[in-house]
Amino acid sequence: MKALNILLVEDNEGDILLTTEAFEESKIINNITALRDGKAAIDYFEKLADKDDYPHLVLLDVNLPKVSGHEVLAHIKNDPKFCAIPVIMLTTSSAEKDILKSYKNHVNCYITKPIDVADFMKAITKIEDFWINIVSIPAKL
């Protein structure tokens, strides 16, 4: 199986570490790129515009420095080159306005991060199981 490219846009170092560790424990080869703010994520997609190496899955926080996760999501979903990439909002926000805004911007899934470390690791394992083992994701867009 070819390695899956996962883009993680997260500003919390602890959550980056936990997410990376949870994916590393799997038997699936994953290449994880971590970006720490929304502007870096938009710049990342701007540089990809002429390339063919898109991420297979994006894990995106709502509350990011410089540019919000909502703006990053809108940027991805409004671009015909990237709109088919599955985006999961993985965030501490359980605010109804954030959930609704995410779905209006065509997020594929909204998950509120569990506070407990063990529950967080289980959530990442379930994300991986569903989005990588069960769902068919296009190899190329």
- 139 domain-assigned: no
- 116 domain-assigned: yes
- The larger pLDDT score, comparing residue 62 to residue 30, is at 62
- 89 domain-assigned: yes
Domain that holds residue 11: 4-134
What CATH number does the domain containing 100 carry? 3.40.50.2300
Is residue 1 pLDDT above 50, yes or no? no
Q: What pTM was computed for the model?
A: 0.91
- 41 domain-assigned: yes
- 17 domain-assigned: yes
Q: 123-128: which pairs have CB atoms within 8 A and are 24 or more residues apart? A: 124/18, 124/19, 124/22, 124/23, 125/22, 125/25, 125/26, 127/59, 127/88, 127/90, 128/22, 128/23, 128/26, 128/28
- The larger pLDDT score, comparing residue 83 to residue 23, is at 83
Domain tally for the chain?
A: 1
